[in-house]
Amino acid sequence: MRHLFILRGFKVRWRMGQIILAHGDCDGVCAASIVLAARRDAKVVFTNPAGLLSELKSIEAGSIIILDVALTSKHKNEIISEFKRLSLKNEVIYLDHHPLPQGLNVNKLPVRTLKGVRGACASELAYTCFKNDLEPEMSRVAIYGAIGDYSDNTPGVRRLLEKWDKRELYLEAGILVAALEGVRRMDFDFKRSLVNYLSENKLPSADRNLVEMALREAERDEEMRRVVKSLVKTHGNVSYVVNVEWSLGKAATYARAYGETIIGVAADEHGEKIDLSIRSIGLRNLHRITSSVAEALGGLGGGHANAAGAMIPRGKLLDFVEMLNEKLA
């Protein structure tokens, strides 16, 4: 619902109604689609952990639903005060599954959230939260999101899967994941139209353009894995690649695999910054290590126990790799 304000009799100003702030990966896109199906008037804005604070600051008022966007330890205090400011006027719902930065307690966040759902990705949380306003068959969109985030083995998703043949859904999720990996990260128009499409519960396989994108990405994966293999460098327990033009997450995974190390890093230099994906096996705290190293270098980062992301100043990549390796020891 949009509110119309008439100021001084002639000036007309629109104030924001409902805003969805979502991450742009498969889980974020699916979570946004689910919420949009329940809240048809909402406006969808894509953001990420580094951008969340400035998005919140730019909103004067409105009912806000945040999906799959981690809170960074660097901005945690400012984000909490934005949550407080915004929730004085309207409801703020925060649905996420990244570990909170140290010092924050999910029970004390000044927003509405879902508690006690261990391992559930943002799409599962969104489906659970908005279930009463959804067609039950929207559950498959929650399942695509869960597969995209490797989170389809939770009790909640297993229950949702009982109503489907999972093999059909894996094909649909696979198309979605591959198409999203293939699209530029900042192609928000494409992602917004995808959210509209999925919010109507239309199948990814029914959109030939999406299928084409997924097939092209599959071909590219086959080629880029070899590129990563030829470029990977190793320092102690950390392998890394720089500026391979591929999905950062996949590049990090294969850097780790081909470098035969515990951690893989993929870096993308642009302007004065470096975007990083970090992937590990068998760690419990990659998000913590990543955020402390990135912050020590003047950047920021976070994520999950074995998958994280960071942004650091240009020229600091070798320091980052060196410090990650030290933290492992």
Q: Torsion angle of alpha carbons 18, 110, 302, 143, nearest 10°?
A: -50
CB 148 to Mn ion: min, Å: 8
- The interface region with Mn ion, picked from 59-67, 120-128, 259-267, 300-308 by CB under 5 A, is 120-128
Which H/E stretch holds residue 239?
Answer: strand 238-242
Smaller CB separation from Mn ion, 70 or 92 = 70
- The interface region with Mn ion, picked from 52-60, 68-76, 83-91, 205-213 by CB under 5 A, is 68-76
Report the largest interatomic distance among the alpha carbons of the chain, rounded to a whole angstrom: 69
Give the number of other Cβ atoms within 10 Å of residue 257's Cβ: 17
Phi, psi of 272 (to 5 degrees): -95, 10
Tell me the torsion sign for CA atoms 17, 18, 22, 27. negative
Helices 139-148 and 122-130 pack at an angle, to 10 degrees, of 160
Question: Is 68 among the residues that bind Mn ion (CB under 5 A)?
Answer: yes
Binding mask 4-43 for Mn ion (x = CB under 5 A): -----------------------x----------------
Tell me the torsion sign for CA atoms 268, 269, 270, 276. positive
Give the number of other Cβ atoms within 10 Å of residue 103's Cβ: 8
Pairing of strands 18-22, 43-46: parallel
Smaller CB separation from Mn ion, 27 or 172 = 27
Smaller CB separation from Mn ion, 26 or 92 = 26
Among the listed residues 253, 285, 282, 274, the one whose alpha carbon sits nearest the alpha carbon of residue 319: 274
Task: Please name the residue that has the structure tokens 């489907």.
Answer: 164
Size of the site for Mn ion (CB under 5 A): 5
> Residue 32 in contact with residue 22, Cβ under 8 Å?
yes
Binders of Mn ion in range 128-167 (CB under 5 A): 149
CB 123 to Mn ion: min, Å: 8
Smaller CB separation from Mn ion, 48 or 139 = 48
Strand partners, 168: none
The tokens describing 256, both together, are 């780790």
| Closest chain position to Mn ion (CB) | 27
Indicate the SS3 state at residue 101: coil
CB 122 to Mn ion: min, Å: 5
CB 13 to Mn ion: min, Å: 35
CB 126 to Mn ion: min, Å: 11
In whole angstroms, give the CA distance from residue 146 to residue 130. 16
Smaller CB separation from Mn ion, 68 or 217 = 68
Smaller CB separation from Mn ion, 18 or 123 = 123
CB 76 to Mn ion: min, Å: 19
Question: Is 181 among the residues that bind Mn ion (CB under 5 A)?
Answer: no
CB 70 to Mn ion: min, Å: 9
- The interface region with Mn ion, picked from 64-72, 111-119, 181-189, 215-223 by CB under 5 A, is 64-72
CB 172 to Mn ion: min, Å: 18
- The interface region with Mn ion, picked from 65-73, 173-181, 203-211, 260-268 by CB under 5 A, is 65-73
Smaller CB separation from Mn ion, 70 or 238 = 70
> Residue 228 in contact with residue 242, Cβ under 8 Å?
no
Residues of the shown chain interacting with Mn ion in the complex, contacts defined by CB under 5 A: 27, 68, 121-122, 149
